[in-house]
């Protein structure tokens, strides 16, 4: 992960924090220029800034969490892979003539264990996002992912996937190439694999594009990530013909981690540094690695048949509800 200091990109609800930080810097600079000791006041203001940050990020609305999940400096798939793996070699191509840069993956070692890791990859800036198609894979991306997962299954390596996409690319060319078939084929095959599969929502998990690499024994999710059948903007446009109602849709869709955990869709919520994963990427990566290793250790004690059965049962339970007569 890059450690070069850059000017932070502020979200709307972070402006009070920025104003307080600016005030602290101004006081510190004036004190230095005039030789005045204001260390006590600085400590009080810094304590207030820490408290304010905790208050803000502990009470984010679903639409605000969506902003955090989409933050351009939020750690990406490649960031996490490079941070948590002992060794890593990216593999390219779907063996059908395509190498989709919106889907990356390869072989590596996680805590000494050979694994295959893959996931959607967004860009850091406009140019990179265009090259990565904003993390929205074409059918070739899902076929590349399947090739890597078949390789893992053949050689007995656990599969680790990282979900971070607003959805699969829905352009005409993608439809011509068989987008729906590619995703559906992945879903079917992932249910059949013998090796452990752990999926983690690291940012934005949207629609079938997320589910195309999201069938696993365990689904982990970072605290401020989102996971949804459709983006709130799309949902609002469909239901109310008004994308401006996306905050209302975000609440109704139950897109945030604690809602999904209570519904039994997510198995584990990974805490983020105060301020979001982008505020301390290395700390977030450490949390992720610990969770992955712990879950792999547990899943490795089960037989292949047990894992497949649990995987099947996990997804059969999604959407089950009980009607209560009044």
Could you tell me the two tokens for 4?
């070069």
For residues 122 and 126, give the distance between their C-alpha atoms in angstroms, rounded to a whole number. 10
215 close to 311: Cβ distance less than 8 angstroms: yes
pLDDT of residue 7: 53
Give me the residue label for tokens 């989709």: 100
For residues 299 and 196, give the distance between their C-alpha atoms in angstroms, rounded to a whole number. 6
Give me the residue label for tokens 């050689």: 155
Could you tell me the two tokens for 145?
């992912």
117 close to 78: Cβ distance less than 8 angstroms: no
Q: Which of 163, 162, 124, 120 shows the shortest CA–CA distance to 141?
A: 120
In sequence order, the β-bridge partners of residue 228 are 206
Residue 180, number of CB atoms within 10 A of its CB = 13
Per-residue pLDDT tens over the stretch 7-45: 557 787 777 777 878 888 888 888 777 777 777 787 888
Residue 84, number of CB atoms within 10 A of its CB = 20
Q: Which CATH architecture has domain 64-317?
A: Alpha-Beta Complex (3.90)
**Hey, is 159 helix, strand or coil?**
strand
pLDDT of residue 3: 45
**Domain layout of the chain by residue ranges:** 12-59, 64-317
> What's the predicted TM-score (pTM) here?
0.89
pLDDT of residue 1: 52
For residues 246 and 243, give the distance between their C-alpha atoms in angstroms, rounded to a whole number. 6
For residues 269 and 257, give the distance between their C-alpha atoms in angstroms, rounded to a whole number. 7
pLDDT of residue 26: 82
Segments of the chain with pLDDT less than 50: 2-5
Per-residue pLDDT tens over the stretch 161-210: 999 999 999 899 999 999 999 999 999 999 999 999 999 999 999 889 99
């Amino acid at each position: 992960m890059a450690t070069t200091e850059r000017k932070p990109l502020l979200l709307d609800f972070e402006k009070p924090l920025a104003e307080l930080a600016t005030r602290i810097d101004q006081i510190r600079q004036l004190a230095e220029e005039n030789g005045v000791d204001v260390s006590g006041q600085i400590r009080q203001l810094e304590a207030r800034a820490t408290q304010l940050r905790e208050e803000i990020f502990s009470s984010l609305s679903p639409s605000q969490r969506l902003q955090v999940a989409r933050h351009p400096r939020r750690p990406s798939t490649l960031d996490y892979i490079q941070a948590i793996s002992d060794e890593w070699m990216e593999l390219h191509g779907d063996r059908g003539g395509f190498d989709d840069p919106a889907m990356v993956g390869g072989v590596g070692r996680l805590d000494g264990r050979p694994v295959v890791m893959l996931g959607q990859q967004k860009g850091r800036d406009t140019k990179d996002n265009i090259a990565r198609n904003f993390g929205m894979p074409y059918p070739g991306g899902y076929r590349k992912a399947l090739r890597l997962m078949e390789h893992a299954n053949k050689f007995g390596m656990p599969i680790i996937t990282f979900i971070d996409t607003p959805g699969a690319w829905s352009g005409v060319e993608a439809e011509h190439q068989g987008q729906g078939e590619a995703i559906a084929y992945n879903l079917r095959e992932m249910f059949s694999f013998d090796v452990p599969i752990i999926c983690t929502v690291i940012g934005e998990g949207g629609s079938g594009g997320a589910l195309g690499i999201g069938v696993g024994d365990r689904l982990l999710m970072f605290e401020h990530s989102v996971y949804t059948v459709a983006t709130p903007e799309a949902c609002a446009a469909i239901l109310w013909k008004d994308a401006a109602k996306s905050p209302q849709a975000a609440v109704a869709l139950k897109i945030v981690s604690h809602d999904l955990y209570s519904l039994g869709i997510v198995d584990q919520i990974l805490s983020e540094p105060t301020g979001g994963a982008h505020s301390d990427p290395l700390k977030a990566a450490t949390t992720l690695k610990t969770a992955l290793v712990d879950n792999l250790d547990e899943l490795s004690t089960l037989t292949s048949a047990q894992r497949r059965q649990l995987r099947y049962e996990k997804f059969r339970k999604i959407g089950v509800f009980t009607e209560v007569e009044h």
